[in-house]
Amino acid sequence: MKRFKGKGVYGAIAVGAVSVYKRQNTDVRRTHIEDTAAEIARVEEAKAMAVEQLSEIYEKALKEVGETHAQIFEIHMMMLEDDDYNESIRSIIETQSVNAEYAVAVTSDNFSDMFASMDDAYMQARAADVKDISDRLIACLSGDSGETSDSGGSMIVCADDLAPSETVSLDKERVLAFVTAFGSSNSHTAILARNMNIPAVIGAGEGFLDEIKDGMKLIVDGHTGELILDPDDDTEKAYLDKQQADARKKALLQELKGKPNVTKDGRQIKIFANIGGVDGIGAVLANDAGGIGLFRSEFLYLESEDFPTEEQQFAAYKKVLESMAGKKVIIRTLDIGADKQIDYFGLEKEDNPALGLRAIRICLTRPEIFRTQLRALYRASVFGELGIMFPMITSVSEVQRCLDACEEVKKELTAEGIPFSKNVELGIMIETPAAAVISDLLAPLVDFFSVGTNDLTQYTLACDRQNARLESFVDTHHEAVLRLIELSAKNAHANGAWIGICGELAADTSLTETFLRMGIDELSVSAPFVLPLREAVRNTNLSGK
Ligand code: PEP
Ligand code: MG
């Protein structure tokens, strides 16, 4: 029995047989070519074949993981048509009189090295995408089908790394789990795993690859990232019991659907869900959330090659509002900067990005970006119950400027004869100690507060949330953070505003009673936490203490 540890990217347990992922051999030899024009024509043919394969994968992904995540394969198709990429292949063939496979392999190395050397984690993850499309192109050039072989039956797929297209091509019916030795939690592979509902652990390390063989028994704990190879009977039994307990818990939670979020002594609270894009709505509805407490609208920008237009944003917001059919939808305006960087914003590199030009600071210094988003939001407001909230607020004047920007947009729309709802609620995120401390001054200006505990913890404890080495210094239940939340709740209510929490702490059921006692009105969590949280609320009794 051997234990390994990676990062769990989808929380569930699998026990089964290892199937080592076999890839077509894409080792490439360099050969001399006389007719370079014919070689370039071969590349064009292979490209057409690769695009055809990718469009099939796109269709499969569309069904299994939704449009937002399927888009990566559209991007792959675009990457195959990229001028620089194609020019590099052509010029290597022409100037060196070499075979197409070799030219693609060299181009692939150059481009992926370039991405890998970038500072931004998102761009680094794109190196895998270049390799993915290049391997496909080489396979098409060599007449390989691009299909992988496996032994049949249910299995736990183990690989050095999986490209997004390989992940989506896995047969969901037969794959019990997958494990990769490398890969980052930022990669599309990890994102796809979460959305395919397959237990998955990434980054198990090279040593893991050395030990595994087809058919060996493996336990994958997607909750903790633990991997147990060749488990003894007791360990296997313990995990099978855990797996059953998971299933029982899941079934029990299903029974809570449709039930109110009410404590034993009758106190009600709203439980909403957080989403990052339109395709998160399915999970929100499936988990019976009462609304959307945080739509991280920056994902529309992150997934786009350029600023999303007013029309594109309008379409996304309208879809979310319509799908929620009258339930509350709170859309946060753009929160870019710090850990979420986007090239086309042209932001300068900063020494302290978390303390830099981010979120509302960008919107207030680039009013044209803000205006486009607010116009799209107000136009969409007639399709449901919209709330708009502003991130990273620290002062009264920032809130005032946000409200002024909303008034301007409403005036414009009125002049243009475009309808918008008069009931849009406006709120701010309490993410900085400053906002919490002056919450008595901020509350009269808005309809609601939503506490972003991820950032509030970071700024209160002076611990960079991106820095894994600070984990031992981050006490998520720190009295300072809890007092700031309590103070904000008191000041919200004293001024007729309501208050929710949308950071990760909202899902921490050991704090549910504390939050209820503070008078928090709404908790917004990732969709899978809605029902466990409902259970925690229903088990709470606030009377008699
Ligand atoms: C937060 O800071 O708690 C929050 C909800 O915002 P984000 O995690 O997107 O920064
Ligand atoms: Mg935040």
Chain segment 448-477, per-residue pLDDT in tens: 999 999 999 999 999 988 776 787 888 989
Residue 251 counted as domain residue: no
Cβ neighbours of residue 167 closer than 8 Å, sequence gap 6 or more: 178, 188, 189, 192, 193, 196
Q: Which of 158, 363, 406, 502 is catalytic?
A: 502
402 in active site: no
Domain range spanning residue 214?
Answer: 2-23+148-232
The finding on whether 431 has its CB within 6 A of some atom of ligand 1 is yes
Q: Say whether pLDDT at 239 is over 60.
A: yes
Count of domains in the chain? 3
Residues 177 and 84 in one domain: no
Residue 108 counted as domain residue: yes
Residues 225 and 286 in one domain: no
Between the CA of 430 and the centroid of ligand 1 the distance, in Å, is: 10
Q: Is the dihedral of CA 148, 102, 78, 190 positive or negative?
A: positive
The finding on whether 503 has its CB within 6 A of some atom of ligand 1 is yes
Residue 248 counted as domain residue: no
Residue 469 sits in a domain of what CATH number?
A: 3.20.20.60
Between the CA of 371 and the centroid of ligand 1 the distance, in Å, is: 22
Residues 392 and 494 in one domain: yes
The pLDDT score that the predictor gives to residue 249 is 84
Residue 73 counted as domain residue: yes
What is the rounded average pLDDT of the residues 300-321? 93
Q: Which helix (H) or strand (E) holds 451?
A: strand 448-451
The finding on whether 340 has its CB within 6 A of some atom of ligand 1 is no
The finding on whether 298 has its CB within 6 A of some atom of ligand 1 is no
The finding on whether 359 has its CB within 6 A of some atom of ligand 1 is no
Residues 127 and 160 in one domain: no
Q: Which of 69, 140, 158, 188 is catalytic?
A: 188
Ligand 1 site-directed mutation target among 296, 301, 332, 466, most atoms within 8 Å of CB: 296
Q: Which atom of ligand 1 is nearest to the CA of 391?
A: 6
The lowest-confidence range among 149-158, 198-207, 322-331 is 149-158
Query: Between the CA of residue 383 and those of 242, 326, 370, 502, what are the distances in Å?
Result: 44, 8, 21, 23
Residue 136 sits in a domain of what CATH number?
A: 1.10.274.10
Between the CA of 475 and the centroid of ligand 2 the distance, in Å, is: 17
For the CA atoms of 334, 337, 338, 340, what is the dihedral angle to 10 degrees? 70
Residues 209 and 306 in one domain: no
The pLDDT score that the predictor gives to residue 394 is 98
Whole-prediction pTM: 0.68
For residues 195 and 430, the model is more confident at: 430
Which neighbouring-strand residues pair with 429?
450
Cβ neighbours of residue 347 closer than 8 Å, sequence gap 6 or more: 336, 337, 341, 357, 362
Residue 245 counted as domain residue: no
Ligand 1 site-directed mutation target among 360, 361, 393, 429, most atoms within 8 Å of CB: 429
Between the CA of 289 and the centroid of ligand 2 the distance, in Å, is: 21
Taking a C-beta distance cutoff of 8 angstroms, is the pair 427, 330 a contact? Answer: yes
477 in active site: no
Q: Which helix (H) or strand (E) holds 491?
A: helix 479-494
The pLDDT score that the predictor gives to residue 148 is 47
Q: Say whether pLDDT at 331 is over 90.
A: yes
The domain boundary, picked from 209, 232, 255, lies at: 232
Pairwise CA distance, residues 7 & 227, whole Å: 10
Percent of the chain at pLDDT > 90 equals 67
The two structure tokens encoding residue 239: 């995990």
Query: Could you tell me which of 425, 432, 449 has the C-alpha nearest to residue 497?
Result: 449
The two structure tokens encoding residue 530: 């809605």
Q: Say whether pLDDT at 288 is over 50.
A: yes
Between the CA of 89 and the centroid of ligand 1 the distance, in Å, is: 43
- Number of neighbours of residue 522 by Cβ within 10 angstroms: 23
The domain boundary, picked from 110, 141, 172, lies at: 141
Residue 410 counted as domain residue: yes
Residues 454 and 490 in one domain: yes
Residues 85 and 219 in one domain: no
Radius of gyration for the alpha carbons in the chain, expressed in angstroms and rounded: 26
Q: Which atom of ligand 1 is nearest to the CA of 298?
A: 9
Strands (E), 170-318: 175-180, 200-202, 217-221, 226-229, 270-275, 291-296
The pLDDT score that the predictor gives to residue 26 is 63
Residue 188 sits in a domain of what CATH number?
A: 3.50.30.10
Residues 12 and 103 in one domain: no
Q: Which helix (H) or strand (E) holds 330?
A: strand 328-332
The domain boundary, picked from 107, 124, 141, lies at: 141
Residues 18 and 86 in one domain: no
Taking a C-beta distance cutoff of 8 angstroms, is the pair 207, 227 a contact? Answer: no
The finding on whether 455 has its CB within 6 A of some atom of ligand 1 is yes
Q: Say whether pLDDT at 336 is over 70.
A: yes
The pLDDT score that the predictor gives to residue 185 is 57
Residue 216 counted as domain residue: yes
Pairwise CA distance, residues 394 & 452, whole Å: 13
Between the CA of 331 and the centroid of ligand 2 the distance, in Å, is: 13
Residues 354 and 460 in one domain: yes
What is the rounded average pLDDT of the residues 258-286? 93
Residues 207 and 289 in one domain: no
Pairwise CA distance, residues 293 & 525, whole Å: 8
Residue 346 counted as domain residue: yes
Residues 117 and 223 in one domain: no
Ligand 1 site-directed mutation target among 292, 392, 450, 455, most atoms within 8 Å of CB: 455
Q: What is the pLDDT of residues 139-160, one digit of tens each?
A: 899 876 544 444 457 899 999 8
